[in-house]
Amino acid sequence: MSDKFDKFFWFRNNRILIDGVKQEHLFMHISDLHLHVVDDLSTPEEKEKAIEKESSWLEGKEKYAESAGEPFRDEQRISSVDAFEKHLMLAEELRPEALLITGDTLNYMHPAGERYLRKKLMDYKNKGGQFICVPGNHEDDNFADLWDAKLRVYEFEGFRIIAVNDSKHTLEDESILRLEALCNENIPMIVICHIPLLTDSCRNEIENAGAYFYIEENSEDINARKFVSIIKNCDTVKAVVCGHLHRYVNCEIAPGKPQIIGSQGMAGAVDLITVCGK
């Protein structure tokens, strides 16, 4: 890896083991970039809001890093756009099988941010890269060409990646039914979503973050409970990859079933995830 990336990024290496997978598959996972963008088409009001939000997050991401005991240096004190540009350059160098982006890519839906993000990810795709995005709680459910509210299935050698929209702390009925059907097909699945799932197995690791940051298996929302139950009990689901917590956690939703929670991409956090056979 080029030296030019060393000072901004900090990495966590993760492995997901799946019976029957013959090769090693490398994925790059980032989350919570919280982009604020202005361009020549932005109105004065849009520019003012973006500048205000950017300033707030320059301080906020340092506080998150401090509370999590994660790296934060002068190299992390850069704009959200500069941070995202670095992530894309890293992805172009690493050439992962897919770039996994688990929500809050935009801090809020705004025209300049939408134009910018679509162009950058389409450019990445046109260069031969694959990306899989899910929306976060800061974003709309649907964003044409990048993500949508419905469950999406991506096929890889010996496993699938399932993109799930849990940005409202629950799932739509259609997604619950589709997820149940996929479990019955017995093809190993890695689920990517935005909000982590809390079960007894990972309670100690993430409960202290507060209920805003996870979906509880005892939720009052019936579809939220169903979602956690499916992930926890379906043998076809092998792992979950998500964000939202603004700190890195590698825990287990059920014994032997990892949940990889990515930290804040705007502060240089990157998960390198290798999927391989046992």
Query: How many Å apart are CA 227 and CA 198, to the nearest integer?
Result: 11
Kindly state whether residue 4 falls inside one of the protein's structural domains. no
- In 69-211, alpha helices (H): 80-94, 111-126, 173-184, 203-206
Q: What is the CATH number of the domain that holds 77?
A: 3.60.21.10
Q: What is the pLDDT of residue 278?
A: 87
User: 25: helix, coil or strand?
Assistant: strand
Residue ranges making up the domain that contains 171: 9-276
Kindly state whether residue 118 falls inside one of the protein's structural domains. yes
Is the model's pLDDT at 4 over the cut of 90? no
Kindly state whether residue 1 falls inside one of the protein's structural domains. no
Reported as a single tens digit per residue, the pLDDT across 214-267 is 999 999 999 999 999 999 999 999 999 999 999 999 999 999 999 999 999 999
Kindly state whether residue 3 falls inside one of the protein's structural domains. no
Tokens of 212: 């805003």
Kindly state whether residue 2 falls inside one of the protein's structural domains. no
Tokens of 277: 């056979």
The mean pLDDT of the chain is 95
Query: How many Å apart are CA 206 and CA 198, to the nearest integer?
Result: 7
Q: What is the pLDDT of residue 7?
A: 87
Kindly state whether residue 205 falls inside one of the protein's structural domains. yes
Kindly state whether residue 260 falls inside one of the protein's structural domains. yes
Q: What is the pLDDT of residue 6?
A: 66
Kindly state whether residue 259 falls inside one of the protein's structural domains. yes
Is the model's pLDDT at 52 over the cut of 50? yes
**CB contact at 8 A, 197 and 171:** no
Q: In what order do the strands lie in the sheet with 10-17?
A: 10-17, 269-276, 25-30, 98-102, 131-134
User: What is the number of domains present in the chain?
Assistant: 1
Threshold 0.85, pTM exceeds: yes
Tell me the C-alpha to C-alpha distance, in Å, between residue 25 and each of 91, 152, 215. Answer: 14, 20, 29
Reported as a single tens digit per residue, the pLDDT across 62-101 is 999 999 999 999 999 999 999 999 999 999 999 999 999 9
